[in-house]
Amino acid sequence: MSVIILGIESSCDDTSAAVIKDGVLMSNVIASQKVHEAYGGVVPELASRAHQQNIVPVVSEAIRQAGIEKGDISAIAFTRGPGLLGSLLVGTSFAKGLALALDVPLLDVNHLHGHVLSHFIKESPDGEVPEFPYLCLLISGGNSQIIRVDSPYKMEVLGQTIDDAAGEAFDKCAKVMGLPYPGGPYIDRLAAEGDPKRFRFSKPHIAGLDYSFSGLKTSFLYTLRDAKVENPNFIEENKADLAASLQKTIIDILMDKFSKAVKITGIKTIAIGGGVSANSGVRDAVQHYADCHHLKAFIPKRLFTTDNAAMVAVAGYFKYLNKDFCDISLPPFARVTV
Ligand code: KG4
């Protein structure tokens, strides 16, 4: 009999549901919330309300697109955390209610494990997946971590940011440039037209494999503030070069520690995940590094870099195979690392 997992993701501002059948993706529906754009960041209460409106149509559509009936579902996987508590409560409560109604088991998924295991989303039965162990650079709006993945059930954080995440560095610097939220994709697009060597911003000197991005943010802010005193149109006239130089600095910081982790561990398979792994420069840098060092690199499709239920369903599928079900009384959690 087939194993069919329904995945539900509601940790931040995307309501998503996906179905996988025997490990192969059948549907992945995502409703993004536009309501936050006017506020320059995600407003938690508005996110919860939008999830509440979206969850029934999104789950119904995922089931319809997968060509299955509700009664075919073997288990329901849901993001238990980390994320915004009100948003998580919507997905968690919905998953529990549906599991009770269908009399199927529940699988709680750590959102970060979902990103790390997103490379196991197979769009066809012969889709290529990484071999264990692999090193994953998890970079998003809330996290920057280097994770050693020994199996779907065994992961170890080798290094992580001690202050801002890579995505925050993109978004906060973009805000200083007057770009909309989230600024990462705007910097990415502008950077393609600019000179990455034009400006120099400070890089951190942190021991070991940990990251820091707050110094870069401050140095970017001061450069712009001082230049604007001389020329009020400085940002407008130099935005492509500013974006390209900022992006290059973030990539240098990321690759410096990631390459160190590869050397220390001797692991030959590398991967990236999380929203910032959609960045063109980051993707090119990781692939280039892998090519030069004879490593195998797994770069996710852009669709699977941001929050999606396909990765939740995949992480849940591994738990299903391990019979690692969760109790219906389990509450969501807002904060945790891998
Ligand atoms: O994983 P994700 O969707 O969720 C959170 O952690 O909230 O990541 C969102 C982050 C944001 O900081 C956004 O600016 C960044 O991913 N991002 C990018 C790009 N696309 C999304 N950063 C740089 N370049 C991109 N193309």
- Tens digit of pLDDT for each residue in 53-76? 999 999 999 999 999 999 999 999
Answer yes or no: same fold for 4-121+304-321 and 134-299.
Answer: yes
Tell me if 188 CB under 6 Å of ligand 1: yes
- Interval 192-219 mean pLDDT: 96
Q: Computed over its alpha carbons, how large is the radius of gyration of the chain?
A: 20
Q: What percent of the chain has pLDDT over 70?
A: 99
The minimum-distance atom of ligand 1 relative to the CA of 143 is: 6
Mutate to test the pocket of ligand 1, among 276, 302, 311, 335 (most ligand atoms within 8 A of CB): 276
The residue with tokens 């529906």 is: 29
pLDDT of residue 338 exceeding 80, the answer is no
Which residue type occupies 120?
F
Is 251 close to ligand 1, i.e. is its CB under 6 Å away? no
Q: What is the pLDDT of residues 208-247, one digit of tens each?
A: 999 999 999 999 999 999 999 999 999 999 999 999 999 9
pLDDT greater at residue 35 or residue 274: 274
Fold topology of 134-299: Nucleotidyltransferase; domain 5 (3.30.420)
Q: What is the spatial distance between Cα 241 and Cα 237, in angstroms, rounded to a whole number? A: 9
137 close to 305: Cβ distance less than 8 angstroms: no
Q: Which residue, judged by its Cα, is nearest atom 22 of ligand 1?
A: 184
User: To the nearest whole number, what is the mean pLDDT of the chain?
Assistant: 96
Contact at 8 Å (CB) between 138 and 167?
no
Domain boundaries along the sequence of the chain: 4-121+304-321, 134-299
Give the closest residue (by CA) to ligand 1 atom 14.
Answer: 184
Asked if residue 83 has its Cβ within 6 Å of ligand 1, the reply is no
- CA of residue 278 to ligand 1 center, whole Å: 7
Q: What is the mean pLDDT of residues 299-326?
A: 97
Ligand 1: does its nearest atom lie under 6 Å from the Cβ of 298?
no
| CATH 3.60.20.30 is held by the domain 4-121+304-321 | no
Q: What is the pLDDT of residue 38?
A: 82
The per-residue b/e assignment along 182-201, b for 16 or more CB within 10 angstroms, e otherwise, is bbbbbbbebbeebebeebeb
Q: Whose CA is nearest to atom 23 of ligand 1?
A: 184
The ligand 1 atom at the shortest distance from the C-alpha of residue 278 is 26
> How many Å apart are CA 76 and CA 142, to the nearest integer?
26
Q: Residue 196 Cα, ligand 1 centroid: separation in angstroms?
A: 20
Nearest atom, ligand 1, residue 142 CA: 6
* Per-position b or e across 98-134, b if 16+ CB within 10 A of its CB: bbeebebbbbbbbbbbbbbbbbbbbeeeeeeebeebb
Q: Looking at residue 41, what DSSP letter applies?
A: S
Alpha carbon distances (Å) from 9 to 60, 102, 245, 306, 314: 14, 19, 34, 11, 12
Q: CB of 171 closer than 6 A to ligand 1?
A: yes
Give the pLDDT mean for 194-209.
96
pLDDT at site 268:
98
Contacts of range 222-229, beta carbons closer than 8 Å, 24 or more positions apart: 223/199, 224/176, 224/177
> What spacing in Å lies between the alpha carbon of 308 and ligand 1's midpoint?
13
- Inter-residue contact 31 to 58 (CB < 8 Å): yes
* Per-residue pLDDT at 337: 63
Give 169 Cα–ligand 1 centroid separation in angstroms: 10
User: Average of pLDDT values for 187-202?
Assistant: 97
Do 113 and 332 meet the contact criterion of CB atoms below 8 Å apart?
no
Is the pLDDT at 134 greater than 90? The verdict is: yes
Which numbered atom of ligand 1 lies nearest the CA of 14? 3
Q: At residue 82, what is the residue type? A: P
pTM (2 d.p.): 0.95
Query: 184 pLDDT band (50/70/90 cuts)?
Result: very high
pLDDT single digits (tens) 71-116:
999 999 999 999 999 999 999 999 999 999 999 999 999 999 999 9
Rounded to the nearest angstrom, the distance between the alpha carbon of 249 and the centre of ligand 1 is 17
Mutate to test the pocket of ligand 1, among 160, 247, 254, 306 (most ligand atoms within 8 A of CB): 306
Q: Is 170 in the pocket of ligand 1 (CB under 6 A)?
A: yes
Percentage of residues of the chain with pLDDT beyond 90: 94
Q: Is the pLDDT of residue 37 over 90?
A: no
Residue 181: pLDDT band (50, 70, 90) is confident
**Would you call 62 helix, strand, or coil by DSSP?**
helix
The reply to whether ligand 1 has any atom less than 6 angstroms from the CB of 161 is no
Q: Rounded to the nearest whole angstrom, what is the distance from the C-alpha of residue 188 to the centroid of ligand 1?
A: 11
> How far is residue 290's CA from residue 108's CA, in Å, rounded to a whole number?
33
